[in-house]
């Protein structure tokens, strides 16, 4: 069985989904709307082969990560601020971003953000540009 890695370049109303084989060969690319039932259906053809799904950490990742985890996928939150892909490039697009992120888990170099459990997310607040997590005291 193939070992596949998938990533999402996520936007407000859609995302570009790229899937690569362990060898790096691109096997799938599509831009479905941001509806979990549509996304799960699109991925169902590859479900048994997908090892990891990397979701770009954007302001709206919660619904997608939660839905994919509920459907049984191993999901990683990709930290785009820690990626050097764009250094020196004049232009990129959603397709190249998705495939770039999809390739990072293969050698284990995906910079990850923390996926807070749903019941702790309400404790997060913004202060200026930094995001702080308020920890509950016992």
First to last CA, the chain: 47
Average pLDDT, the chain: 83
51 pLDDT more than 80: yes
Helix and strand numbers (H, E) in the chain are 3, 8
> Which of 106, 110, 109 has its CA nearest to residue 5?
106
Q: Where in the chain are the domains?
A: 4-133
What pLDDT digit, counting tens, does each position of 63-121 carry?
A: 999 999 999 999 999 987 787 754 554 457 889 889 988 988 888 888 888 888 888 77
**Rounded Cα–Cα distance for residues 116 and 94 (Å):** 26
Nearest 5°: the CA angle 64, 65, 68 is 85
The CATH fold assigned to 4-133 is Nucleotidyltransferase; domain 5 (3.30.420)
pLDDT of residue 49: 94
User: 56 near 100, Cβ under 8 Å?
Assistant: no
Q: Which residues, 6 or more positions from 78, have their beta carbon under 8 angstroms from its beta carbon?
A: 7, 54, 55, 56, 57, 101, 104, 110, 111, 112, 113
43 pLDDT more than 60: yes
pLDDT of residue 7: 93
pLDDT of residue 134: 44
Three-state secondary structure string covering 67-110: HHHHCCCCEEEECHHHCCCCCCCCCCCHHHHHHHHHHCCCCCCC
pTM: 0.79
């Amino acid at each position: 069985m193939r070992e596949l890695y998938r990533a999402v370049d996520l936007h407000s109303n859609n995302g570009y989904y790229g899937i690569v084989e362990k060898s790096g060969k691109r096997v799938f690319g599509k831009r479905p709307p941001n509806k979990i039932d549509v996304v799960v259906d699109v991925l169902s053809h590859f479900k048994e082969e997908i090892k990891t799904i990397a979701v770009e950490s954007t302001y709206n990742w919660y619904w997608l990560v939660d839905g994919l985890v509920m459907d049984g996928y191993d999901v990683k939150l990709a930290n785009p601020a820690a990626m050097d892909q764009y250094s020196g490039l004049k232009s990129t697009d959603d397709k190249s971003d998705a495939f770039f992120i999809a390739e990072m888990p293969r050698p284990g170099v995906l910079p990850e953000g923390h996926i807070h459990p749903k019941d702790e997310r309400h404790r997060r607040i913004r202060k200026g540009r930094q995001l702080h997590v308020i920890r509950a005291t016992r």
